[in-house]
Chains A and B, each alone.
Chain A
């Protein structure tokens, strides 16, 4: 199927009323949670996941993806106007966005970020359209040993390139893998780690884990910190939005470079969504700039580049997720979870066996980004108003929605109790430096990792050499080993006093 025919199919799927409506719902919710500090896009996606049981797989993914890239847009608004990063990836935008507001250039900063987001997403989607099918084709020739090694690389990367300490990141991955194994072993029929609780026989639902670790833990940590009542003295008129000629000129190349950096980083496993892409792009812009001293004082290149980068990364992260079945970060893991809920096995066959889903989703990205472009500018005053909802009224509502959402999964109060339990343990672990994102990745890949290992070892008659004899597998494992060595070396070298505590 050629690219044009595929896109035609995609438009036919994405332009149905139902999918348009879910796309709109997704990007709107995404915008709102992106603007609001104290509720992240991960929490929002987890909250809306129970809804996906009631809609077809395509509509579900269209909506969840919309929340993701919608939040990227929304996050920058709070960063620019109030110096409050709504999402982790928009923390960079604060560096130069807020100084622009102080200089009275908030309007142009907002318009430039909107356009930068759109361009970053668009360029990344084009790469996705051309890159995904051949990559999936290549992945079809992978054997179980190659898959095993690829997952190992993905997990090692997710654990060690995390924000915190690499060893604890790896421990988080292992805990996730173990939780993923709870339930009946498909091969032997043995009950594993179910402790006689019938509700655990089918395993722990990804929604329970996500709600506990992203929803409840975030609520617990945010209480008392975000007062929500933000002072807003900036008046933004439509005319005040227009950047001047110099600002346009200074932001064009940063957008292009940012899109390239973001697309590249987004494809890599374990890079944690847009935040790493945004930081890398900021560094690139500062280095290539002729006036690096302006950075941090309101350089427009410092918002145009990172904003393109984090949106590009948000889109290109779908490349490995949809073609290889290997999620790069927690959000992609949730996307895969939604696919599996609908009985679609993730992997290279998704594109060929469910072309309507894949191309419909891709085209919905285009439509969704266009909706955001239109939604964003005229509604800026409205988004600023939303920032003023006090958090103390918001979080009881979030807690209620978590309870109802989890209950609706299988009408079981045991699932609700599990959320309470996982969040109680999870909060302590996260405070100790464990990380939720690598844990979720491990959780979703656990059963697949075991299955591919079992299959490879069965074929090789129990010989572990099979993992290094196959060239593809050997390359993946080689990279994983390099990463591990790098992590251990860093651990040995670390000076005692330099570990700066970071309270997030």
Chain B
């Protein structure tokens, strides 16, 4: 089996990437000394430890042959995109359009759902959630905001 398809090898690599990245970013923060720990002391040490553990995990993968699990690819793209859409539309058009867009987009993650059902769901859900947060909890968020 190709080593790049081994779950353990890839998780080791992921740990190494994060560890090295953190070590590089925090190396400039001032290490200080054990007596006077600088802001970089703790994160840099953690980054190095993470890298070492990553190497151990990746080495261990040479013996185990566990395959990558199946990824839920379509929802994996759609759901974060729906959340991102909310963040982008909300300040420009207001809560209503952002909410409807998010519900519709998220719902598409399950392709079998009929669009009309999703629209009905969104039209019920979005105003009630807005009422709950804006009126119930006093979170200031205009329902429509055409002002740009």
A contact set with B: CB distance below 8 Å: 51, 54, 165, 167-168, 170-171, 174-175, 177-178, 181, 185, 187-188, 190, 192-193, 216, 219-221, 223-224, 391-393, 395-397, 399-404, 407-408, 411, 413-414, 416-417, 419-421, 423-424, 427-429, 431-434, 449-450, 453-454, 457-458, 461-464, 491, 494, 496-497, 499, 501, 503
Residues of A within 8 A of B29 (CB): 190, 192
Give per-residue flags for B117-132: 1 if the beta carbon is below 8 A from chain A beta carbons, else 0.
1100110011001000
Partner of A224, one of B14, B56, B75, B83: B75
Residues of B within 8 A of A177 (CB): 46
- Cα–Cα, bound, A494→B76 (Å): 33
Given contacts A174-B15, A187-B37, A496-B63, 7 further A-B contacts (CB under 8 A): A393-B117, A403-B86, A413-B90, A423-B79, A449-B42, A462-B34, A501-B67
Q: B22 interface residue, CB < 8 Å from A?
A: yes
Residues of A within 8 A of B69 (CB): 431, 501, 503
With CB as the reference atom, state the residue of chain A lying closest to B38.
Answer: A188
Tell me if A399 and B39 are in contact (CB < 8 A).
Answer: no
Q: B106 interface residue, CB < 8 Å from A?
A: yes
Residues of B within 8 A of A223 (CB): 72, 75, 79, 109-110
- Cα–Cα, bound, A407→B50 (Å): 32
Known: A175-B18, A399-B82, A411-B140. A224 touches B39 (CB 8 A): no
Tell me if B39 and A185 are in contact (CB < 8 A).
Answer: yes
Known: A181-B42, A407-B141. A395 touches B8 (CB 8 A): no
Give per-residue flags for B51-76: 1 if the beta carbon is below 8 A from chain A beta carbons, else 0.
00110110010011111111110011
Tell me if B15 and A171 are in contact (CB < 8 A).
Answer: yes
Known: A167-B60, A399-B103. A457 touches B35 (CB 8 A): yes
Tell me if A178 and B43 are in contact (CB < 8 A).
Answer: yes
With CB as the reference atom, state the residue of chain A lying closest to B67.
Answer: A501
Tell me if B140 and A419 are in contact (CB < 8 A).
Answer: no
- Cα–Cα, bound, A402→B133 (Å): 12
Residues of B within 8 A of A427 (CB): 76
With CB as the reference atom, state the residue of chain A lying closest to B121.
Answer: A393
**Top 3 A-B pairs ranked by shortest CB distance?**
A462-B35, A416-B87, A462-B34
Residues of B within 8 A of A433 (CB): 7-8, 11
Partner of B83, one of A168, A187, A402, A458: A402
Tell me if B14 and A429 are in contact (CB < 8 A).
Answer: yes
Known: A171-B54, A413-B90, A462-B35. A400 touches B141 (CB 8 A): no
21 residue pairs A–B, Cβ–Cβ below 8 Å: A178-B47, A181-B43, A188-B39, A192-B43, A220-B72, A223-B109, A224-B110, A393-B117, A396-B104, A399-B82, A400-B125, A403-B99, A404-B95, A407-B87, A424-B80, A427-B76, A431-B68, A432-B7, A433-B7, A496-B63, A501-B69
Residues of B within 8 A of A391 (CB): 110
- Cα–Cα, bound, A429→B34 (Å): 33
Closest beta carbon of chain B to A480's beta carbon, Å: 14
Tell me if A458 and B53 are in contact (CB < 8 A).
Answer: no
Closest beta carbon of chain A to B117's beta carbon, Å: 7
Most chain B beta carbons < 10 A, residue from A393, A403, A417: A403
Residues of A within 8 A of B81 (CB): 420
Most chain B beta carbons < 10 A, residue from A397, A449, A501: A397
Closest beta carbon of chain A to B7's beta carbon, Å: 6
Residues of A within 8 A of B83 (CB): 216, 399, 402-403, 416-417, 419-420, 423
Partner of B34, one of A413, A419, A457: A457
Classify the secondary structure of A's interface with B: helix
- Cα–Cα, bound, A171→B29 (Å): 23
Closest beta carbon of chain A to B57's beta carbon, Å: 5
Residues of B within 8 A of A174 (CB): 15, 19, 46, 49-50, 53
- Cα–Cα, bound, A395→B78 (Å): 12
Known: A171-B15, A461-B35. A450 touches B42 (CB 8 A): yes
Closest beta carbon of chain B to A339's beta carbon, Å: 20
Residues of B within 8 A of A424 (CB): 76, 80
Tell me if B35 and A171 are in contact (CB < 8 A).
Answer: no
Residues of A within 8 A of B66 (CB): 499, 501
Q: B2 interface residue, CB < 8 Å from A?
A: no
Residues of A within 8 A of B116 (CB): none
Residues of B within 8 A of A165 (CB): 8, 57
Tell me if A167 and B129 are in contact (CB < 8 A).
Answer: no
Residues of A within 8 A of B122 (CB): 396
Tell me if B33 and A462 are in contact (CB < 8 A).
Answer: yes
Closest beta carbon of chain B to A400's beta carbon, Å: 5
- Cα–Cα, bound, A224→B111 (Å): 9
- Cα–Cα, bound, A436→B19 (Å): 18
Residues of A within 8 A of B110 (CB): 223-224, 391-392, 395
Known: A193-B25, A224-B72. A454 touches B91 (CB 8 A): no
With CB as the reference atom, state the residue of chain A lying closest to B73.
Answer: A220
Residues of B within 8 A of A494 (CB): 60, 63-64
Known: A223-B75, A396-B118, A501-B66. A188 touches B57 (CB 8 A): no
Tell me if A404 and B129 are in contact (CB < 8 A).
Answer: yes
Closest beta carbon of chain A to B100's beta carbon, Å: 9
Q: B88 interface residue, CB < 8 Å from A?
A: yes
Tell me if A51 and B137 are in contact (CB < 8 A).
Answer: yes
Known: A188-B38, A192-B39, A454-B37. A431 touches B54 (CB 8 A): no
Tell me if A457 and B37 are in contact (CB < 8 A).
Answer: yes
Known: A167-B57, A399-B83, A404-B133. A193 touches B102 (CB 8 A): no
- Cα–Cα, bound, A216→B37 (Å): 37
- Cα–Cα, bound, A491→B26 (Å): 31
